[in-house]
Amino acid sequence: MKIEELKERFLELYGLNEEKIHIYFAPGRVNLIGEHTDYNGGYVFPCALTFGTYLLVRKNGTIKVNFATTNFDHRVEVMLNEPFTRDGKSWANYPLGIMNELRKRALETEGIDLLYSGDIPNGAGLSSSASIEMVTITALNDLFGFGLDKMEMVKLGQKAENEFVGVNCGIMDQFASGMGEANHALFLNCETLDYKKVPVILNGIKIVISNTNKRRGLADSKYNERRSQCEAAVEKINKKEPIRNLGELSVKEFSYLSDSITDETVKRRAKHVVTENDRTLKAIAALNNGDIEEFGKLMNASHDSLRDDYEVTGKELDILVNEARKIPGTIGSRMTGAGFGGCTVSLVKEDSIEEFIREVGNNYENKTGLIPEFYIAEPGDGAKKIGVL
């Protein structure tokens, strides 16, 4: 939806007043490699996308905050003189969580009207939730002069999702949405939050995101179960050698310590994390050396580990990846995000993209009965103000 159309919708909802309407944007993200490593203190390599969530916001001179979105009919009103409480499973819990975290820091807003509009497919695993969180904190920080820096806003976004929404996510999604830069991916150490912006130079190659169109709910998926299995692995290893998290271990160290994990399922979960961390380091080295073929092989190995050791792919994602790999112009393909549906990310030669979309789309539909969607992605900027109307 274009900005002028959003302005019209905003005025339909809230009418005119003397205050200016401010416009903000925060992107979704795709993770190129490094999956389920973020909450294990490991490495990830996401980039912000050029699509995400737009927010129009205006002070309204009351003690009421009004939430609306073009994506759903459900609207929410809250009073600033009352506690913030979860609204069932509403989309509004994400911005409400942000306001709740600000309130804990004695950072209060005035009454405002908000209209969100997202062009990230809901449930696709491209971080629409982090995009909503980061566009909200960016807007409120700017509008009310809270003086938070980008890193503080990223941490606040994660905390809101963990404690208010109830999803035990790592920091990668908010980090990519908040800190992204066009034509770059972010090499992030999730334990220390040290990061580098790495140029993504893909001569003649495009990032293609393929959506299974199988809906998945992160909060009620097996995400939290995987987290607890990783924590169980750390607990067992600690009896032999003290570690804080699996991200500390090299492949060699894990092979030495893994016999302390007696549960074979837990051992496979830990194996994925340790080997995925190693693959991420190798993939970034390959990209820096201009070796895109090696990067693609590591993407393939990442998916296979997520399928076999971490078991978070499922039929639809596996079929999309298998069909993608049959196309000669595909450099590499893997699931991205939490799994159990959502999207894959593939590196595809430009002259093969039409064939990729046609063949992968037809074969996937024939095998699943679902119609996939494809997006040609470009690494974009992080959360920012667009302007004033």
Helix, strand or coil, per DSSP, at residue 265: helix
Rounded Cα distance, 75 and 234, in Å? 43
Quick check: 167 pLDDT over 90? no
Total domains in the chain come to: 2
Q: What does the buried/exposed string (b/e) look like for 247-271 if buried means 16 or more CB atoms within 10 Å of the residue's CB?
A: bbbeeeebeebbeebeeeebbbbbb
Residues 255 and 165 in one domain: no
Looking at residue 86, its pLDDT comes to 93
What is the crossing angle of helices 128-144 and 172-179, to 10°? 50
- Note the pLDDT of residue 219: 39
pLDDT for the residue 216: 65
Same domain, 70 and 192: yes
* Cα distance between residue 340 and residue 123, in whole Å: 10
Do 185 and 210 lie in one domain? The reply is: no
Band of residue 224 on the pLDDT scale cut at 50, 70, 90: confident
Q: What share of the chain is helix, strand, coil (3-state, %, to 5)?
A: 45, 20, 35
Q: Are residues 230 and 326 in the same domain?
A: yes
Same domain, 158 and 260: no
Is 193 in the same domain as 206?
A: no
Residue 125 reports pLDDT greater than 80: no
Domain identity same for 229 and 192: no
CATH number at residue 73: 3.30.230.10
- Summarised one tens digit per residue, pLDDT across range 192-217 is 999 999 999 999 999 999 999 987 65
The reply to whether 173 belongs to the active site is yes
What is the C-alpha to C-alpha distance for residues 279 and 294, in angstroms, rounded to an integer? 10
What is the average per-residue pLDDT within 276-305? 97
Q: What is the mean pLDDT of residues 290-319?
A: 97
Residues 169 and 252 in one domain: no
Kindly name the residue from 38, 113, 173, 381 that is annotated as catalytic: 173
Say if residue 177 is in the same domain as residue 310: no
Residue carrying structure tokens 């969607």: 373
Same domain flag for 182 and 216: no
Tens-place pLDDT, residues 72-100: 999 999 999 999 999 888 999 999 999 99
For residue 47, give its domain range.
3-198+380-388
160 Cβ contact partners less than 8 Å away, ≥ 6 residues apart = 94, 97, 98, 100, 101, 133
Neighbour tally for 201: CB within 10 Å: 12
**Distances 205 to 43, 175, 282, 368, 372 between C-alpha atoms, Å:** 24, 25, 20, 28, 21
The rounded distance, in Å, linking the Cα atoms of 25 and 274 is 35
pTM (2 d.p.): 0.93
Residue type, 39: Y
Residue 126 is predicted with a pLDDT of 84
* CATH code, domain with 226: 3.30.70.890
Q: Are residues 181 and 206 in the same domain?
A: no
pLDDT of amino acid 202: 93
151 shares its domain with 7: yes
